[in-house]
């Protein structure tokens, strides 16, 4: 094959883009790109009932967000109907397909009889040699080769074959004049000059049929790669139970597109033990790695690990920009930057930042009474009073000086960190959990810390 590599991803717009589809698309895209080729997007929208423009829009939006940039304009399969029918006519004229007028009742009966005898249902080729003319009740059937086998060398699974006897004379055009899936795919793949088809392994059985149609049309067969499906951590088919399903939901959860792409790339592909791949590196190295032929399993925990890695390395300006739709607190100022530094590694998702940083930007919410009763004991209130006095007298307000004060109070009152740090933390953050309390106080600033300590003391005394 001297032609330039041309890959494609061909979703049916009958739903939003899910993890499995996005992973397959990424592999198709990366494979083409790593071989210096192009990758096209084809929307297989021939099912008029189930295909919706809103799904097409959402699929395209998800790819834009992920940064998977398909070449050329998307192709809408429904617009190619005349070409599909033209090729069906060509096949009939060449004696590779024929008109069939078998009624649905006859076919139903045939199927039942075959099943009763324990055979796999298959069209009995009644009309194959009858040379029927086209009529309102005829379908076009493909003359599948009667013997031999169909085989192809799959990039993921190696050599696969099936005996032609297993395959039906499948319908290419229905009696209402609509072309069927296998014909549409082959004709579009030919017209789009597709050289590489990477798709889910649920299509392997279609591939055998499609290879025969390519051959009947005298066209070169693309190179195929069927990637196994993605399973949930429990080994069952991936579903909602295993984490959000569609790409747009991950976006809403606050997953970074870079992290999701990196994770998707590792769902069924590997290059040594490396986990973190920048996008450019993936494009360069995808061909050097290995697409696995065993199902990959999805883990939300692992995805969050990737997200945290990317969050921790993200440039502050970019992070503040990304956070803008999740949390309105951050500005491009020194205070925001200090808060970010302090809480960044406590957040797995962009949506965690608001909750984690609220007390830096807003007045404290009412302290949980259970936490208050447990923490603000009479001894703790005495400690807070001493701390308040020491803090007010501190010359400089840094995490070191604050830490030194806390330690001095601990020593002189012979108390542990819990007895001093916990009431202080609850008073200044309103929570039992926060980053180290000395650092938190330093970022909050002396005025706010003192004000909140006084408030806690006034309420309780
Ligand atoms: N439209 C098919 C699907 O969404 C894919 C067809 C193909 O890749 O050939 O499963």
Residue 270's φ and ψ, nearest 5 degrees, are -150, 155
Q: Which pLDDT tens digit goes with each residue over 400-454? A: 999 999 999 999 999 999 999 999 999 999 999 999 999 999 999 999 999 999 9
Is pLDDT at 207 greater than 80 in this prediction? yes
Compute, in angstroms, the gap from residue 327 CA to the centroid of ligand 1: 38
Mention the CATH class of domain 6-70+230-300.
Answer: alpha beta
Nearest CA to ligand 1 atom 6: 10
What ligand 1 atom has the least distance to the C-alpha of 206?
A: 9
DSSP 45-77: ---TTT--HHHHHHHHHHHHHHT---SSSPEEG
Of the pLDDT bands very low, low, confident and very high (cuts 50, 70, 90), residue 292 is very high
Atom of ligand 1 nearest to the CA of 11: 4
Predicted pLDDT of residue 200: 96
Do residues 106 and 55 touch, judged by C-beta distance below 8 A?
Answer: no
460 confidence band (pLDDT: 50, 70, 90): confident
Q: How far apart are CA 342 and CA 372, in angstroms?
A: 25
Evaluate: CB of 257 within 6 angstroms of ligand 1.
no
The dihedrals phi and psi of 329, each to the nearest 5 degrees, come to -70, -35
326-345 pLDDT, tens per residue?
Answer: 999 999 899 999 999 999 99
CATH of 77-227, one of 3.40.50.150, 3.40.50.620, 2.40.30.60, 3.40.30.10: 3.40.50.620
Q: Is residue 12 lining ligand 1, measured as CB closer than 6 Å?
A: yes
pLDDT tens string 102-122: 999 999 999 999 999 999 999
- 82 — alpha (psi -120 to 50), left (phi > 0) or beta? alpha
d(CA 194, CA 214): 12
Which residues neighbour 114 within 8 Å (Cβ) at sequence distance 6 or greater?
120, 121, 122
Position 232 scores a pLDDT of 87
**Mean pLDDT score across all residues of the chain:** 95
| Side-chain half-sphere CA neighbours of 70 within 13 A | 25
pLDDT at site 461: 65
Q: Which of 28, 199, 206, 222 to mutate to test the pocket of ligand 1 (most atoms within 8 A of CB)?
A: 199
Q: 304-309: long-range contacts at Cβ-Cβ below 8 A with a sequence spacing of 24 or more?
A: 304/348, 304/349, 306/259, 306/260, 306/262, 306/263, 306/275, 306/276, 307/254, 307/255, 307/256, 307/259, 307/260, 307/348, 307/349, 308/345, 308/347, 308/348, 309/259, 309/276
Q: Please, are residues 72 and 39 in contact by the beta-carbon 8 Å criterion?
A: no
Query: Does the pLDDT value for residue 2 go beyond 70?
Result: no
Answer yes or no: is pLDDT of 244 > 70. Answer: no
Q: Which pLDDT score, from 0 to 100, does residue 295 have?
A: 92
CATH 3.40.50.620 spans which residues of the chain?
6-70+230-300, 77-227
Pocket lining: 199 vs ligand 1, CB cutoff 6 Å = yes
CA atoms within 13 A on the CB side of 318: 9
The pTM for the full model equals 0.91
C-alpha of residue 181 to centroid of ligand 1, in Å: 9
Angle at 285 between CA 282 and CA 289, to 5 degrees: 105
44 lines ligand 1 (CB under 6 A): yes
Q: What is the mean pLDDT of residues 195-220?
A: 97
185 lines ligand 1 (CB under 6 A): yes
Supply the CATH classification number for the domain 369-460.
1.10.10.350
Q: Which two tokens stand for residue 165?
A: 């006897």
**142: pLDDT strictly greater than 60:** yes
pLDDT tens profile 55-106: 999 999 999 999 999 999 999 999 999 999 999 999 999 999 999 999 999 9
**Average pLDDT for residues 41-46, to the nearest whole number?**
97
Which tokens hold the place of 366? 């009412």
pLDDT confidence tier of residue 242, bands split at 50, 70 and 90: confident
| Per-residue pLDDT tens over the stretch 295-330 | 999 999 999 999 999 999 999 999 999 999 999 999
Q: Which atom number of ligand 1 is nearest to the Cα of residue 189?
A: 9
Please report the pLDDT score of residue 60 as a whole number: 98
**237 has pLDDT over 90:** no
Please report which confidence band the pLDDT of residue 12 belongs to, taking 50, 70 and 90 as the band edges: very high
Closest-CA residue, ligand 1 atom 10, reads 11
Query: pLDDT over 70 for what percent of the chain?
Result: 99
Contacts of 432 (CB under 8 A, 6+ apart): 371, 375, 422, 425, 426
Rounded distance from Cα 210 to ligand 1 centre (Å): 12
């Amino acid at each position: 094959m001297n032609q330039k590599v041309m890959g494609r991803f061909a979703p049916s717009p009958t739903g939003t883009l899910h993890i499995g589809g996005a992973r397959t698309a990424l592999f198709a895209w990366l494979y083409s790109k790593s071989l210096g080729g192009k990758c096209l997007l084809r929307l297989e929208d021939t099912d008029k009932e189930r295909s919706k423009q809103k799904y097409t829009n959402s699929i395209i939006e998800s790819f834009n967000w992920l940064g998977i940039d398909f070449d050329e304009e998307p192709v809408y399969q429904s617009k190619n109907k005349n070409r599909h029918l033209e090729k069906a006519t060509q096949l009939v004229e060449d004696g590779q397909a024929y008109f069939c007028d078998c009624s649905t009742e006859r076919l139903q009966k045939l199927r039942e009889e075959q099943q009763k005898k324990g055979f796999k249902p298959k069209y009995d080729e009644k009309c194959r040699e009858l040379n029927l003319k086209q009529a309102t009740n005829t379908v076009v059937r493909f003359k599948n080769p009667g013997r031999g086998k169909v085989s192809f060398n799959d990039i993921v699974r190696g050599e696969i074959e099936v005996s032609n006897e297993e395959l039906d004379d499948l319908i290419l055009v229905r009696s209402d004049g609509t072309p069927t899936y296998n014909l549409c795919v082959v004709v579009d793949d030919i017209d789009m000059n597709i050289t590489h088809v990477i798709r889910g392994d649920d299509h392997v059985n279609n591939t055998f049929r499609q290879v025969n149609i390519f051959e009947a049309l005298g066209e070169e067969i693309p190179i195929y790669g069927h990637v196994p499906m993605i399973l949930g951590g429990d080994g069952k088919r991936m579903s909602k139970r295993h984490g959000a399903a569609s790409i747009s939901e991950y976006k809403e959860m606050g997953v970074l597109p870079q992290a999701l792409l990196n994770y998707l790339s590792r769902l069924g592909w590997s290059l040594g033990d490396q986990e973190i791949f920048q996008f450019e590196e993936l494009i360069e190295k995808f061909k050097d790695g290995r697409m696995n032929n065993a199902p990959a399993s999805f883990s939300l925990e692992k995805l969050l690990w990737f997200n945290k890695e990317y969050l921790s390395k993200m440039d502050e300006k970019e992070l503040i920009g990304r956070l803008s739709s999740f949390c309105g607190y951050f500005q491009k100022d020194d205070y925001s930057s200090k808060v970010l530094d302090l809480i960044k590694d406590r957040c797995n998702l962009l949506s965690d930042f608001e909750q984690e940083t609220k007390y830096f930007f807003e007045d404290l919410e009412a302290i949980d009474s259970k936490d208050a009763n447990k923490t603000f004991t009479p001894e703790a209130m005495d400690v807070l009073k001493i701390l308040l006095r020491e803090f007010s007298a501190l010359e400089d307000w840094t995490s070191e000086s604050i830490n030194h004060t806390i330690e001095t109070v601990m020593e002189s009152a012979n108390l542990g960190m819990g007895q001093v740090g916990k009431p202080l933390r609850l008073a200044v953050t309103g929570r039992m959990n926060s980053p180290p309390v000395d650092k938190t106080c330093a970022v909050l600033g002396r005025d706010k810390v003192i004000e909140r300590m006084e408030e806690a003391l006034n309420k309780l005394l």
